[in-house]
């Protein structure tokens, strides 16, 4: 006979990607974000946050040198989109999910304003790490509300894991009978027209700072 899980037991952990470098730099660690659709206790949220950072202890000296600017994801039309498609323009890249109540909207808003105000050719990409609920179409419809030059991309778990590993992004989605908990690194990556990483910013970095960096 198959035993049903007790209400307090975890049913499934859908994904976890740990970026080995995250714990070594304060601006990366402080950009960790935990969200539960059904609020978890403060203690539980803190424990999840701490576990996620602890899983990524430092293994190299620079937060930029080990990041690989490379991705192959899916747009709302089902087409494969790669990092090479954006050569020749600046690119702002962020990771999140559409059910996020505060951090992701702030990130998308700052990116959208920066893209609106900059005088250089630039685009913004919002990648959803919530593959179960966010299709590429849903993600694109969500982020396009924050600016005409923002697009949403998604993909399979394997595709999301690949790009998360390349950008040293840590994320975890844990489902229980009472919670759907999402943890993710909420940084903004600025990439130059040659496809080189310029810098990494927190989600709350003002738009004017991003504009100044694109020159």
- φ, ψ dihedrals at 202, nearest 5°: -75, 160
Residue among 150, 24, 135, 129 nearest 86 (CA): 150
Give the Å distances, CA to CA, from 210 to 97, 184, 191.
Answer: 21, 21, 11
Three-class SS state of 155: coil
Residue 1 lies in a domain: no
pLDDT for the residue numbered 35? 52
Residue 138 lies in a domain: yes
Query: How far is it, in rounded angstroms, from Cα 104 to Cα 90?
Result: 21
Give the Å distances, CA to CA, from 49 to 62, 75, 123, 161, 170.
Answer: 23, 30, 31, 19, 11
**Burial (0-12, 13-18, 19+ Cβ within 10 Å), 115:** buried
Residue among 132, 145, 172, 142 nearest 36 (CA): 172
The residue range of the domain holding 65 is 13-213
pLDDT for the residue numbered 215? 85
Number of domains within the chain: 1
What six digits make up the tokens of 90?
């600046």
**Burial (0-12, 13-18, 19+ Cβ within 10 Å), 90:** buried
Residue 7 lies in a domain: no
pLDDT for the residue numbered 177? 87
Alpha helices, DSSP H, located in 31-189: 42-54, 103-117, 136-144, 157-166
Residue 5 lies in a domain: no
Burial string for 119-140 (b: 16+ CB within 10 Å, else e) reads eeebbbbbbbbbbeebbbebbb
CATH number at residue 53: 3.40.30.10
Residue 146 lies in a domain: yes
Query: How far is it, in rounded angstroms, from Cα 76 to Cα 155?
Result: 10
Residue 3 lies in a domain: no
Residue 6 lies in a domain: no
- φ, ψ dihedrals at 138, nearest 5°: -60, -45
> Per-residue pLDDT for the chain (215 aa), expressed as one digit of tens each?
444 444 444 434 444 454 433 332 333 333 445 554 443 333 333 333 333 323 333 333 456 778 999 999 999 999 999 999 999 999 999 999 999 999 999 999 999 999 999 999 999 999 999 999 999 999 999 999 999 999 999 999 999 999 999 999 999 999 888 899 898 989 999 999 999 999 999 999 999 999 999 98
């Amino acid at each position: 006979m198959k035993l049903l899980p007790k209400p307090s037991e975890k049913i499934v952990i859908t994904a976890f990607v740990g970026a080995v470098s995250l714990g070594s730099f304060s601006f990366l660690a402080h950009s960790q974000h935990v969200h539960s659709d059904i609020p978890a206790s403060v203690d539980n949220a803190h424990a999840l946050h701490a576990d996620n950072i602890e899983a990524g202890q430092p293994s190299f000296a620079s937060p930029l040198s080990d990041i690989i600017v490379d991705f192959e994801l899916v747009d709302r039309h089902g087409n494969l989109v790669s990092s090479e498609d954006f050569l020749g323009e600046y690119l702002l890249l962020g990771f999140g999910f559409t059910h996020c109540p505060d951090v992701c909207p702030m990130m998308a808003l700052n990116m959208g304003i920066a893209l609106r105000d900059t005088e250089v050719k630039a685009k913004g990409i919002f990648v959803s790490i919530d593959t179960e609920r966010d299709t590429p179409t849903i993600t694109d419809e969500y982020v396009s509300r924050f600016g005409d030059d923002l697009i949403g991309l998604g993909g399979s778990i394997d595709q999301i894991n690949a790009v998360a590993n390349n950008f040293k992004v840590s994320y975890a989605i844990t489902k229980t009978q009472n919670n759907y908990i999402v943890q993710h690194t909420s940084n903004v990556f600025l990439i130059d027209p040659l496809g080189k990483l310029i810098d990494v910013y927190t989600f709350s970095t003002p738009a004017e700072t991003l504009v100044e960096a694109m020159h």
